[in-house]
């Protein structure tokens, strides 16, 4: 599955979404404007706007508000990335230096705040459904914050459970995918059943998206395709591959490995032992099964929607999430 086919189909609308984002970020403050333009030179795959546009098309006829909401979710997503880079001390993202590494943490936070404000202003420019969509954004921001803080809390205790992990994944990733699909469906006045179905599709696909990212962290260096590996472990995060391996291990061994995770930040040599444990217990393969489960359930959420090219592309988007290499 190649996401470029979907981008080609959506190209005119994606170009309008990009223009909305660029217009929203324009500033007469030289430092801010230059930084925003540099960030926009590396926009990533635009997964959330793609999900928005396809969801709107699957539930009705894409309109100006659909495109505004698609722009808003991308502004929100990038605002969180700017903040995350400060929290994580990240020096690179998408192969380029982070704003935090170039300008410092304080400017990066302020620029992230600016993107967040522009997300809200873009929604306020919509013709209908403003109040409802702002409430969705507020809930999403709450979930994002709670997810990040729960992950920090669990990193120090080493006791992350499957339920904890799913709450973290929902907050950090899936909540914004869910919001993208819901906001788009609302923009085309879709029936509530379709709004709910598309929201659930986004949530499940978002969980799958994060599990795939977590699998990358356990890839062999030779298979990593330029993506750094082991970052999650060094940050003491227990993610799906490790959780799956722990479930297969006897209780004493699982407790020992959890203890190693709490020490790995100070003792980096322990990472090799944890990775060997995950490999021996088939953690990556079991995580891949979980990934397939969530994506297949996501695709099943589309059954209630009328047949359309957008519906087919939504299913293909879920398949892409499962097979993507980065």
Residues 185-209, mean pLDDT to the nearest whole number: 98
What pLDDT is stored for residue 286 in this prediction?
97
Query: Using CA of residue 242, residue 246, residue 252, residue 255, what is the dihedral sign?
Result: positive
- For 34, other C-beta atoms within 10 Å of its C-beta total 11
Residues 6+ apart with CB under 8 A from 280: 245
What pLDDT is stored for residue 229 in this prediction?
62
pLDDT at 127 over 50: yes
pLDDT at 223 over 60: no
Is there a contact between 101 and 92 (Cβ–Cβ < 8 Å)? Answer: yes
User: Residue 34: what are its φ and ψ, rounded to 5°?
Assistant: -65, -40
Residues 178-190, mean pLDDT to the nearest whole number: 98
Angle between the N-to-C axes of helices 47-59 and 175-187, in degrees from 0 to 180, rounded to the nearest 10: 40
Taking the C-alpha atoms of residue 126 and residue 256, their distance in angstroms, rounded to an integer, is 54
Strand, helix or coil for residue 164 = helix
Q: For 241, how many CA atoms within 13 A lie in the half-sphere containing its CB?
A: 25
What pLDDT is stored for residue 285 in this prediction?
96
Q: For 317, how many CA atoms within 13 A lie in the half-sphere containing its CB?
A: 30
Q: What's the token pair of residue 13?
A: 């609308």
The fraction of the chain above a pLDDT of 70, given in percent, is: 96
Instruction: Quickly state the pLDDT bin for 94 (edges 50, 70, 90).
Output: confident
Is there a contact between 71 and 24 (Cβ–Cβ < 8 Å)? Answer: yes
In this structure, of 36-45, 93-102, 147-156, 157-166, the range with the lowest mean pLDDT score is 93-102
Distances (CA, A) of 82 to 18, 72, 119, 209, 323: 18, 15, 14, 20, 27
Q: In the CATH scheme, what architecture does the domain 3-323 have?
A: Orthogonal Bundle (1.10)
Which sequence spans correspond to the domains of the chain?
Answer: 3-323
């Amino acid at each position: 599955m190649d996401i470029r086919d979907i981008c080609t189909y959506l190209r005119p609308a994606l170009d309008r979404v990009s223009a909305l984002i660029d217009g929203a970020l324009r500033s007469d403050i030289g430092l801010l404007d230059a930084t925003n333009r540099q960030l926009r030179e590396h926009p990533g795959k635009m997964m959330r706007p793609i999900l928005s546009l396809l969801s709107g098309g699957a539930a009705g006829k894409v309109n100006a508000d659909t495109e505004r909401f698609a722009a808003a979710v991308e502004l929100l997503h990038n605002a969180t990335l700017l903040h995350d880079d400060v929290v994580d001390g990240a020096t690179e993202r998408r192969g380029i230096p982070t704003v935090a590494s170039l300008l410092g943490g304080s400017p990066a936070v302020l620029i992230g705040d600016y993107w967040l404000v522009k997300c809200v202003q873009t929604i306020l420019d919509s013709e209908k459904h403003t109040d409802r969509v702002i409430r969705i954004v507020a809930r999403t921001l709450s979930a994002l914050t709670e997810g990040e803080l729960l992950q920090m809390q669990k990193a120090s205790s080493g006791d992350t459970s499957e339920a904890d992990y799913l709450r973290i994944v929902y907050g950090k990733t899936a909540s914004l995918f869910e919001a993208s699909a819901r906001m788009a469906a609302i923009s085309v006045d879709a029936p509530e059943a379709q709004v709910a179905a598309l929201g659930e599709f986004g949530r499940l696909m978002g969980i799958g998206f994060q599990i795939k990212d977590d699998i990358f962290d356990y890839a062999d260096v030779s298979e990593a395709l330029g993506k750094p590996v082991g970052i999650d472990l060094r940050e003491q995060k227990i993610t799906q591959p490790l959780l799956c391996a722990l479930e297969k291990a006897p209780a004493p061994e699982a407790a020992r490995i959890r203890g190693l995770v709490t020490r790995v930040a100070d003792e980096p040599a322990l990472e090799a032992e944890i990775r060997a444990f995950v490999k021996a217990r088939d953690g990556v393969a079991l995580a891949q099964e979980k990934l397939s489960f969530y994506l297949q359930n996501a695709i099943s959420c589309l059954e209630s929607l009328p047949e359309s090219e957008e519906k087919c592309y939504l299913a293909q988007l879920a398949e892409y999430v499962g097979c993507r290499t980065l």
